[in-house]
Amino acid sequence: MNKYPGWLNALVFAILLAGCLFALPNLYGSVEAVQIAANDGEPYSEARLEEFVDTVEAAGVTPEAAYLNDGRVVIRFDSVDDQEIAGEELRNAYSRVANVATTLTPKLPAWVRALGLNPMSLGLDLRGGVYVLLEVDMGTAIESRLRGYQDDFNDRLRDARIRNRVDLDGRTITVRLTGSEDVQRATDIIRRADQDVLIAEGADGKSLTVRMSETQIKERQDFAIEQNLTTLRNRVNQLGVAEPLVQRQGVDRIVVQLPGVQDPNQLNDILTATATLEFRLVDTTGDEPGSRRYPGRGSEPSQLLKRQVIASGDQIIDARVGQDQGRPIVSITLDSAGGERMLETTMSNLRKPMSTVFIETKREKIVHNGVEETRTIKVEEIVNTATIQGVFKDRFQISGLTGPEAVNLALLLRAGALAAPVFKIDERTIGPSLGQDNIDRGFNAIKIGFLAVIVFMGIYYRAFGLIADVALFSNLIFIVALLSILGASLTLPGIAGIVLTVGMAVDANVLIFERIREELSAGASPQTAIDSGYGKALSSITDANVTTLIAAIVLFALGTGPIKGFAITLLLGIVTSMFTAIVGTRAIANLAFGGRRLQSLPV
């Protein structure tokens, strides 16, 4: 009685070893570092790594370690002073071709990195770094969708040979027709374009008003947030910043946390930049419906451009910086839809001019009637106009940008276009010393709680209490290992969840040991008491943990920020404590007491 088969003991031991292995990287801590990522997104080679190291050593700084990580160069240093000198030297030498970020990185030995093991990431409140709160311009997101409707309705009605004029005023589209006989046909065409829009007949009997429904507005707002989340993650990742956190907060806000980052200046520009491109044909005749005059940038003249967009920033799948006769260029690659449109345009418009329009949305502060106000402005400028000399499809080049503009634009286009402009409304920089103080306090709380529970269990339940202490220590290892595997960030609320788990983890063993005591008091043999203690307490343990697990899942699903951090460690702690308290302690108890005659139990 009370003997696990050999394979089950081996499985429990293997799981413990795996937990120790995945938790191991967390013992090494972090160190100051510089991360370098190529502007064009290409991975670096060992030769480039050596070149960067030579540049740093030429400045009189000796790196603690240097290696490639996911195509990026990581150079570690023993002091902040060395890191600052190296970062400045690398930025001066490579700012045109690379993004250089000063940060913190795990101080892992080469053999640990070779195994692909990584420590759990630490949140901003523990590690220090940059916190940015962005507001998404939902008005512009909805306006861009309405302008899409405006162009689509105009094209469809024109193709159906219905004379019309489509105007956009606020959130209302007005379709003006020449006669009442076209109203029903126009309604049917608009309905086929989008059956969810709200259509009403005008008072004059020969016009229609079209509005987005509340459901459509909500869907557009959600789309803008989700698209911006993806784009911002791509932008931060291309800058070489480690372990960024980009998540939604509320209806129209996005939180960006960059743990370990100590130089936020370049990041701020990249996060809020809304630059994109549009390619339009020049209206050389001046009689094209919907044409508009766009100003030129610098020496570029203004041009009258056609209303229809050939391709736009959201159709660009790649953008690389290059040189052509000493001038910076951006090599563009379009997706299939944009490529087909460009092919069709160039085939039918040879020897005709096409312009590249650079578009950027900004916020500026003005004083109106003595009150400072913030307004959103959209800058649209022609950066390049060239004659179409041949047929091309999805690959071509643009010029007319300065070197820094070309670098930033290529990065933004590769990362994807923002569905709506974002504006920074709050920024905080947390120093690493504050983060270390938080870490020390949090882990001291875990140590004190852990030691108090160990001492209590050892005194009160004797040998069985020591078994529970081993399970409790294993539980902590498993929580850290799972956080490392999942890539989850440990925050101060997360530490609170671990402290709570430490106290709760022994609950199951308390129930089991008390049941064993009751069985012994009732005259059961030691072996029967062990078997009954684990068997009869199981239902109570399961009920208690399942209810807590449900609460943790709800907190994780509905909570944001700190609440999620608390929920994830609580959730993982419940799962691991169930394993260690029931399976783990039973395996140890079976090895220590199972399969032999006993007169008493040290419980």
CATH architecture for the domain at 276-402: 2-Layer Sandwich (3.30)
CA atoms within 13 A of residue 495's CA, in its CB half-sphere: 19
Tokens 């093991």, located at residue: 117
Of residues 97 and 65, which shows the higher confidence score?
Answer: 65
Confidence of residue 267 (pLDDT cuts 50, 70, 90): low
Mean pLDDT of the chain: 84
Tokens 């047929």, located at residue: 391
Note the helical H segments in 523-594. Answer: 526-558, 562-578, 585-593
CB-neighbour burial class of residue 299 (10 A; exposed 0-12, middle 13-18, buried 19+): exposed
Report how far residue 412's alpha carbon sits from residue 544's, in angstroms, rounded to the nearest whole number: 50
Q: Which residues are CB-neighbours of 209 under 8 A, at least 6 positions away?
A: 172, 173, 174, 175, 199, 200, 202
Residue 127, helix vs strand vs coil? helix
Write down the pLDDT at residue 205: 87
Write down the pLDDT at residue 71: 83
Tokens 């549009």, located at residue: 278
Confidence of residue 250 (pLDDT cuts 50, 70, 90): confident
For 303, phi then psi, to 5°, come to: -140, 150
Which residues in 388-432 belong to E strands, given as ranges?
Answer: 395-398, 422-430
**Residue 152 burial (CB count, 10 A):** 14
Residue ranges, comma separated, of all CATH 1.20.1640.10 domains in the chain are 6-24+433-593
* pLDDT score of 417 more than 70: no
Write down the pLDDT at residue 239: 62
* Token digits of residue 217: 């507005």
Q: What is the pLDDT of residues 505-525, one digit of tens each?
A: 788 888 888 888 888 888 888
CATH class of 6-24+433-593: mainly alpha
**What torsion do the CA atoms of 75, 77, 80, 81 make, to the nearest 10 degrees?**
-100
Contact yes or no for 119/26 (Cβ under 8 A): yes
Report how far residue 367's alpha carbon sits from residue 347's, in angstroms, rounded to the nearest whole number: 50
Q: What is the pLDDT of residues 366-389, one digit of tens each?
A: 777 777 777 777 888 998 888 888
Write the CA distances from 334 to 3, 195, 269, 312, 314, integer angstroms. 65, 30, 25, 9, 9
Question: What letter represents residue 114's amino acid?
Answer: A
Pairing of strands 129-136, 253-259: antiparallel
What is the separation, in whole angstroms, between the first and last Cα of the chain? 18
Tokens 């160039």, located at residue: 346
SS3 content of the chain, % helix, strand, coil (to 5): 50, 25, 25
Run of H or E including 342 = helix 336-348
Q: Distance between alpha carbon 284 and the CA centroid of its chain, in Å?
A: 45
Residue ranges, comma separated, of all CATH 3.30.70.260 domains in the chain are 29-107
Residue ranges, comma separated, of all CATH 3.30.70.3400 domains in the chain are 129-274+418-430
Q: Which residues are CB-neighbours of 456 under 8 A, at least 6 positions away?
A: 465
Q: What is the pLDDT of residues 556-580, one digit of tens each?
A: 887 766 788 888 888 998 889 888 8
* pLDDT score of 240 more than 70: no
Per-residue pLDDT averaged across 480-491, rounded?
85
**The domain defined by 29-107 carries CATH number 3.30.70.260:** yes
**The domain defined by 129-274+418-430 carries CATH number 3.30.70.3400:** yes
Q: What is the pLDDT of residues 14-40, one digit of tens each?
A: 999 999 999 999 888 888 888 888 876
Enumerate the β-bridge partners of residue 199: 210
Tokens 């400072």, located at residue: 372
Instruction: Return the closest-CA partner of residue 280 out of 402, 426, 397, 385.
Output: 385
Question: What letter represents residue 176's amino acid?
Answer: R
Write down the pLDDT at residue 436: 67
Q: 0.75 exceeded by the pTM? A: no
Q: How many residues does the chain have?
A: 603
Contact yes or no for 330/406 (Cβ under 8 A): yes
DSSP 179: -
